[in-house]
Structure 1
Amino acid sequence: MRAVQVTEFGGPEVLNLVDLPDPVPGPGQQLVEVDRIGVNYADTHQAENSYLAPSKLPLVPGGEIVGRTADGKRVVALLNGGGGYAERAVADEVTSFGVPDGVDDLTALSFIIQGTTASLLLRKSAHLEPGESVVVHAAAGGVGSIAVQLAKAWGAGRVIATASSDEKRALALELGADVAIDSRAENMTDALREANGGKRVDIVLDMTGGAVTDQSIAALAPFGRLAFYGMASRENPKPIEARNLLGHSTTVAGMWLPHAFKLPGNVFGRTLDELFELALAGRVRAIAGGEYALSDARAAHEALRSRGTMGKLLLDPTK
């Protein structure tokens, strides 16, 4: 089968199209004929071995696929340790989910990581309450574009989007944001307060890191919450001192999606089902960010790392 393989860690240049034997499912696993592959920012970290979970060489990157099992069932699946950038992949049955009729490949792949991340950030990490203000950084991206829609659907009082271009800010407004500001603002603290009518903000969803995180924390209102789920800038925020959290009763939370599978009551599966229902009802939609041939995986990673993309990027394993 055709697959993208990494034999040395690095940037997009280490992604090579090769021929590999078909993977063989073990107990509790199934072989999936892949229709589309989701591309995530985490894949770029996986390729350079800078992700939370260490990578091992040789590596076929990719953590999400949609396709069909041997018995014809259409599933969207999360893969443990990669293997998604290929024509066929092995998926654990416990992380494979049926896709309802009417939900297309783009939506299924947008929701299984980005959608569930946005939902859990708002509900589990930030504990959104009706009427609260919500800042969504990178609001035109995979998680951000869904988070804007969910925040509005769940009663946020004011949704403030940040994005780096006029086109991205226009998309955020189209999706329901009340105001969209430049993510390159010189002082994000001031920019967020101004966008919120001079008041501090209640919730910030942040995947940027560095100064953006520092200045976002400084913009939080009493009992404000910042939910941190990525570090696209590859820059660490300043260390947080406990005494500074006391100043405004601030909460700073981190979230890594795999931990959701350890929650009782099938929280992940129920979250995904709810998102599918919202999509079928026309209340939340996935944003297409571009489809690349499997042989063009390098270009997809270059686009992601440039932070110039919007919505969800896909790979087509037939090309």
Structure 2
Amino acid sequence: MTVVEITQPGGPEVLKATKRATPAPGPREVLIKVHAAGVNGPDLLQRKGLYDPPPGASDIPGLEISGVVVELGSEVTRFTVGEPVIALVPGGGYAEYAVADERTTARLPQGLSMAEAAALPETFMTVWVNLFQRGQFKAGESVLIHGGASGIGTTATMLAKAFGATKIFTTVANQEQQLASQALGADMAINYNEQDFVEEIMKGTDNRGVDVIVDIIAGDYVSRNFRAAAMNGRVVQIGVIKGPATNVDLFPMLVKRLTHIGSTLRSRSHDDKAGIMAELESQVWPYIRSGAIKPLLFKTFPLADAEQAHALMESGQHIGKVVLRVLQDD
């Protein structure tokens, strides 16, 4: 089969198409003929040599796929050959075939193309875990979403809106991203190149601050998040694009009784991921089936053009998800 592998740590140019043996499914795994694969921040980190796959996982990048089941492991009971599915995988998505544990596989949600569906598993599961489970967001609260034009940011905006946020703030890079974020449900999309998000949030909340902050940035944003948070607010760290936080002022965290937590999805057990997938199917899939929520696709690339997809992601100019098409007719 054709795959895209990381030839050495480095820039997008280290991604090369090559041939490898098609994997065989284990007892609880399904073999999926991949139609599309989502491109995510962890893929970029892995390419740079900064995020190793979990033990036993494929070294091929790619954490979310859509496709059709073509072979079943000996103990698989939930799926049959020929079913269209989506899957969260610990690696191996940039390929014509991939194996996925049946516990992290779900039937293709009605109303989505294969390309749209490939943008679901990693992104929606990450947002659900961090905004709803760990961040404990609930209807009637306000939220700040950093990286509002990213796949995570657009998804978090749509879900916060659907589940009753009183006010949604996002941070974005330019006017085009501002307009797109507001169209998805943001009440205020703050251009971080021209505005101070702490000042804008305080003005927009009568100096109260926001209840939940979802942050993929880190760096100097950590201290600023503490200043922008409301009393008893929660800051959920799911990325470190700007690197380590230095000279962090913890006093606002103490005074406001804040909670600052973080997590990753990739290293969780299959059973943990199955629980997250089940909650999405019961609580979010109805919005997808009705058309109220749909993954926002910015651009798709053929599998062999993974280098271009990564370059686009690193430019920060995308709005929504970047997806690799393995089969061009989807």
TM-score w.r.t. the length of structure 1 is: 0.91
Who is 1:23 aligned against? 23
How far 1:239 moved relative to its partner?
6.6
Q: Name which of structure 1's ranges 263-272 and 213-222 shifts more when overlaid on structure 2.
A: 263-272
Who is 1:216 aligned against? 225
CA distance in 2, matches of 1:260, 1:159: 32
How far 1:232 moved relative to its partner?
2.2
Correspondences of 1:1-319 after superposition (within 5 Å): 1-51=1-51, 53=53, 59-70=59-70, 71-80=81-90, 82-185=91-194, 187-233=196-242, 235-238=243-246, 244-258=252-266, 259=268, 261=270, 263=272, 266-318=275-327
The verdict on how the C-alpha distance between 1:37 and 1:264 changes in structure 2, with shifts beyond 3 A counting, is: closer
The verdict on how the C-alpha distance between 1:92 and 1:262 changes in structure 2, with shifts beyond 3 A counting, is: closer
- 1:118-156 Cα offsets, whole Å, 9 max, x none, are 222222122123322211111121111121121122221
CA distance in 2, matches of 1:182, 1:73: 43
Query: What is the Cα-based RMSD across aligned positions, in Å?
Result: 2.4
Contact 1:34 1:89 in 2 (8 A): yes
Query: What is the one-letter code of the residue matched to 1:181?
Result: I
How far 1:240 moved relative to its partner?
5.6
Query: What is the one-letter code of the residue matched to 2:13?
Result: E
How far 1:267 moved relative to its partner?
3.4
CA distance in 1, matches of 2:294, 2:15: 31
SS in 2 for 1:33: strand
Contact 2:222 2:248 in 1 (8 A): no
The verdict on how the C-alpha distance between 1:152 and 1:318 changes in structure 2, with shifts beyond 3 A counting, is: closer
The verdict on how the C-alpha distance between 1:295 and 1:7 changes in structure 2, with shifts beyond 3 A counting, is: same
Contact 2:119 2:323 in 1 (8 A): no
Identical-pair percentage: 30
Contact 1:78 1:91 in 2 (8 A): yes
SS in 1 for 2:66: strand
Contact 1:106 1:286 in 2 (8 A): no
CA distance in 1, matches of 2:273, 2:24: 30
CA distance in 2, matches of 1:231, 1:52: 16
- 1:77-109 Cα offsets, whole Å, 9 max, x none, are 1112x1111111122222211113323224422
Who is 2:73 aligned against? none
Query: What is the one-letter code of the residue matched to 2:123?
Result: Q
The verdict on how the C-alpha distance between 1:197 and 1:53 changes in structure 2, with shifts beyond 3 A counting, is: farther
The verdict on how the C-alpha distance between 1:58 and 1:83 changes in structure 2, with shifts beyond 3 A counting, is: closer
Contact 2:37 2:115 in 1 (8 A): no
Q: Which runs of 5+ in 2 are unaligned?
A: 71-80
How far 1:247 moved relative to its partner?
1.2
Contact 1:200 1:219 in 2 (8 A): yes
CA distance in 2, matches of 1:144, 1:161: 8
| Aligned residue pair count | 317
Contact 1:121 1:227 in 2 (8 A): yes
Query: What is the one-letter code of the residue matched to 2:321?
Result: K
How far 1:293 moved relative to its partner?
1.0
Query: What is the one-letter code of the residue matched to 1:77?
Result: A
Contact 1:34 1:65 in 2 (8 A): yes
TM-score w.r.t. the length of structure 2 is: 0.88
The verdict on how the C-alpha distance between 1:4 and 1:283 changes in structure 2, with shifts beyond 3 A counting, is: same
Contact 2:63 2:122 in 1 (8 A): no
Contact 2:109 2:289 in 1 (8 A): no
CA distance in 2, matches of 1:263, 1:299: 33
Displaced runs of 4 or more, over 4 A: 52-58, 239-244, 260-265
The verdict on how the C-alpha distance between 1:316 and 1:252 changes in structure 2, with shifts beyond 3 A counting, is: same
CA distance in 1, matches of 2:36, 2:58: 22
Contact 2:172 2:192 in 1 (8 A): yes
